[in-house]
């Protein structure tokens, strides 16, 4: 009778390791993000409106090198700036040609800089990098990547996050969230998070 105790105990431990979180649970609510501002990045398209000067108004892409070129403005660094910061920089350059230019910059098809994107790797249906949006949650991310594959160990997934300059790793329960509908497993995401979804051991 005793010879069956050890295999049963090992099986139980392995099952727990396979299905349970590996890291401390992620906080349900991220720290206040009032200071978060959208920053421009390669792949964004900016609409530049110059009041009273339609000839220098238009939509312009931010190149892979992080710069933008528009009428009368060449190779303007844009990546990492807010739209308002870019508008002020454009005003300075246009001031050489236009008296007191007033510029407004808006973003269409925003992607953002790489260090603010959310990356999903591993056993997601469509692993990819996503642009962060204010109040984005884990369920929003999973909708964007099409859920889990059949081989995912969803409850052993984790979020890699930089907190106060130090990398931290938190466990998340994707299987409980997606397949079980457990809303308590939903957590806030932060800019730059990396969601890691491992493969099931069994």
In the chain, where are the structural domains located? 45-108, 117-202
What phi-psi label fits residue 144: left (phi over 0), alpha (psi between -120 and 50 degrees) or beta? alpha
Instruction: Note the CATH number of domain 117-202.
Output: 3.10.560.10
Q: Give strand pairing partners of 183.
A: none
Residue 154 CB contacts under 8 Å (≥ 6 apart), including other chains: 148, 173, 174, 175, 176, 177, 178, 179, 197
| Distances 68 to 28, 72, 101, 140 between C-alpha atoms, Å | 38, 11, 18, 31
- Per-residue model confidence (pLDDT) at position 7: 44
- pLDDT tens track for 151-164: 999 999 999 999 88
From CA 177, how far away is CA 28, in angstroms rounded?
13
Contact between 122 and 196 under an 8 Å Cβ cutoff? The reply is: yes
Predicted TM-score (pTM) of this structure: 0.73
- How far from each other are the two terminal CA atoms of the chain, in whole angstroms? 27
- Three-state SS at 119: strand
- pLDDT tens track for 116-162: 899 999 999 999 999 898 889 999 999 999 999 999 999 999 999 99
Contact between 110 and 46 under an 8 Å Cβ cutoff? The reply is: no
Identical fold for domains 45-108 and 117-202, yes or no, is no
Tell which wins on pLDDT, 3 or 154. 154
- Per-residue model confidence (pLDDT) at position 6: 38
- Per-residue model confidence (pLDDT) at position 176: 94
CATH of 45-108, one of 3.30.410.10, 3.30.450.40, 1.20.210.10, 3.30.1950.10: 3.30.1950.10
């Amino acid at each position: 009778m005793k010879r069956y105790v050890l295999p049963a105990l090992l099986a139980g431990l392995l099952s727990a390791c396979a299905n349970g979180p590996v890291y401390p649970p992620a906080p349900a609510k991220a720290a206040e993000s009032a200071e978060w501002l959208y920053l421009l990045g390669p792949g964004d398209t900016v609409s530049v409106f110059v009041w009273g000067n339609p000839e220098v108004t238009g939509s312009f892409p931010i190149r892979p090198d992080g710069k933008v070129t528009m009428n009368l403005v060449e190779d303007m660094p844009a990546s990492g700036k807010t739209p308002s910061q870019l508008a002020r920089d454009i005003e300075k350059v246009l001031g050489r040609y236009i008296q007191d230019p007033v510029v407004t910059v808006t973003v269409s098809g925003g992607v953002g800089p790489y260090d603010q994107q959310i990356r999903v790797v591993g056993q997601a249906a469509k692993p990819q990098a996503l642009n962060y949006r204010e109040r984005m949650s884990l369920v929003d991310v999973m909708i964007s990547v099409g859920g889990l594959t059949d081989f995912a160990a969803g409850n052993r997934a984790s979020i890699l996050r930089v907190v106060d300059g130090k990398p931290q790793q938190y466990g998340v329960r994707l299987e409980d969230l997606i397949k079980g509908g457990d809303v308590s497993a939903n957590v806030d995401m932060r800019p730059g998070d990396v969601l890691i979804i491992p493969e099931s051991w069994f």
